Amino acid sequence: MKKFLGFLIFLFISNSFADGHVIKAKQSMLYFAGLYPSYLLYLQGDIPNNTKDSWVDKDYWAVLEIDKSSKNHGGEAVILKLKKTSGASPQPEWCVTQGGDKWDGKGPACLKTDKPKSMNQLRFKVKVQYKDTKDNLPKELQNLNFVQYEVGYDEDGVSLSQLPGRLPPPNHVFGPVKLTIIK
């Protein structure tokens, strides 16, 4: 009987983890990584230090939800695909960036340091998705207020893109956020 109960508990835990993995952070930033749709996603603050890094073994779907209380992009969500980890590029990666504790977005590089968790910052390489890809998500995530990249400018010269991270510093930082990874 004990073995059977243990097996049921194992199945419950395995299934709940297989359905999704959630990482919450105090703030976030999407950093344009050259060519659309490539971005770097930074999560910072209140991330448990035991959060595993270098585990993304395939292109997982993910949703970044920005809390309604955020000064920038409150109540919005972005659909992402996580890039796979490689020997040269672990995904995700504990990261110390050039801005240091101020996290002022002076550069996308993770600096080599003996304390990579000192900023409590995780970096993911992602590909942003258009909001019409929401059909690939579980039903409970499909009704969020998704925003996406848009090409062009309006008559006042303002970018049509609604994607977070397209604002000049310091307005490119938003949060709190929840990243749900569909596994």
In 3D, which of 106, 99, 101 has the Cα closest to residue 120?
101
Task: Identify the residue with better confidence: 43 or 3.
Answer: 43
- CA angle, corner 16, sides to 74 and 174, nearest 5? 15
Two tokens, residue 17? 């983890």
* pLDDT bucket at 99, cuts 50 / 70 / 90: low
- What value does the mean pLDDT of the chain take? 84
Residue with the larger pLDDT of the pair 150 and 47: 47
User: Could you tell me the CA-to-CA distances from 5 to 13, 18, 155 in Å, in that order?
Assistant: 12, 20, 65
Q: Which amino acid is at 83?
A: K
Q: Is the dihedral of CA 122, 33, 142, 168 positive or negative?
A: positive
Sign of the CA dihedral with 42 first, then 48, 50, and 51 last: negative
Contacts of 176 (CB under 8 A, 6+ apart): 24, 25, 26, 27, 46, 66, 67, 69, 70
d(CA 108, CA 116): 14
- Per-domain residue ranges for the chain? 19-182
- pLDDT value for 91: 95
